[in-house]
Amino acid sequence: MKKNRISHFYTKDLAIRASALITTDLVKEIQHIHQSLPIATIAMGRLLTGSLLMASGLAEKQQVSIRVQGTGPLGQLSADASFESEARCYATNPTLELPLTNGKLSIGAAVGPGILTITRFHEFHKHPQVSIVEIQTGEIAEDLSYYYQQSHQIPCLVSLSVSLDKNCEVTAAGGVILELMPGAPASVITALENKAKSGRPLSEMILGGATPWDLVKEYSHIENMTETLHLHDIKYHCPCSLERVERTLGLLGQAVLAEMILKGAPSEAKCHFCGRTYSVSLNTLRKLHDEVQPD
Ligand SMILES: [Zn+2]
């Protein structure tokens, strides 16, 4: 996969900052890993792009997990990303198909109403920071933008886009986050929002070869911003391991483990994020059973 990094931008007076990222190759990889059909590919691609942009605004060794729990047919949609730009995602129903709404795939209809949970993990904090907001449209970008406005109390604009061709191949993907810093006049964001509405669709621009700066410029209509590149290349990465699977099994409790042992077959566990399968032997199950506290 071609190496790719998030670009950060800020204005001279520091009133506006933005981050932008092109994720075409990453979303192709998601589609390949999950063997997903268009609805789930678009939903996961948007969420993973948004979570990478969000995580890049944190500090080293910090991570963000975003769970979109809607009541729609897509089921749960989930993405994890770190400041180091490692990310993974899944959707409960990656092969969902729905009829078109007004000639388009409606991600909002697939997600449905529900809640969005954003958890931030800090290396030195014992407890993660959890925020829960209601799903606004289910189209992901509006939902993340709403979260930013609610939790950071700053005006923010999020735009995320994934496009596919007639053969369901990913052709373009990317995202932009524009944030007004505290103290910036509210009139600026109103102007930004109005201008953003007139912006061309992101994926159309990416398909045409746009750079992250072209995307930010189109949405902000600001001519001059300083650009810095994020320190890490984006990468689909799942840290799952047999050890972690065993630890998770240990959390199921003695009764569940006993039931698994009585079935007499080794237990298969498949990671939803990367598809790797792990086989846990009967001996290990017995060991875990003996180690856990009785229920
Ligand atoms: Zn995994």
Residues 265-295 pLDDT 10s? 778 888 999 999 999 888 989 998 998 877 6
Query: 3 pLDDT band (50/70/90 cuts)?
Result: low
CA of 160 to the centre of ligand 1 (A): 25
271, amino acid identity: C
Which pLDDT belongs to residue 2? Answer: 52
Q: Is the pLDDT of residue 180 over 90?
A: no
Q: pLDDT tens for residues 149-172?
A: 888 787 888 999 999 999 999 999
> Average of pLDDT values for 213-227?
90
Q: Which residue in the block uniquely carries the two structure tokens 């598809």? A: 275
pLDDT in tens, 41-89: 999 999 999 999 999 999 999 999 999 999 999 999 999 999 999 999 9
**Domains present along the chain, CATH in parentheses:** 5-236 (3.55.30.10), 242-291 (3.90.1280.10)
Report CA(238)–ligand 1 centroid distance (Å): 5
The chain-wide mean pLDDT, for the chain, equals: 91
How many Å lie between the centroid of ligand 1 and the Cα of residue 73?
23
Distance 92 CA to ligand 1 centre (A): 15
- pTM listed for this prediction: 0.90
Closest CA to 246 of 225, 260, 236, 264: 260
How far is it, in rounded angstroms, from Cα 24 to Cα 273? Answer: 19
pLDDT of residue 14: 86
**Span from the CA of 88 to the centroid of ligand 1 (angstroms):** 8
How many Å lie between the centroid of ligand 1 and the Cα of residue 38?
Answer: 22
The Å distance, Cα 31 to ligand 1 centre, comes to 15
Cβ atoms of 293 and 254 within 8 Å: the answer is: yes
Residue with tokens 């409606």: 106
pLDDT of amino acid 135: 97
Q: How far is the CA of 274 from the centre of ligand 1 (A)?
A: 4
What spacing in Å lies between the alpha carbon of 36 and ligand 1's midpoint? 16
Give distance in angstroms: CA of 225 to centre of ligand 1.
Answer: 38
* Gap from CA of 89 to ligand 1 centroid (Å): 10
Q: How far apart, in whole angstroms, are the C-alpha atoms of residue 220 and residue 264?
A: 61
pLDDT digits 0-9 by tens, 227-275: 999 999 999 999 999 998 888 888 888 888 898 899 887 788 889 999 9
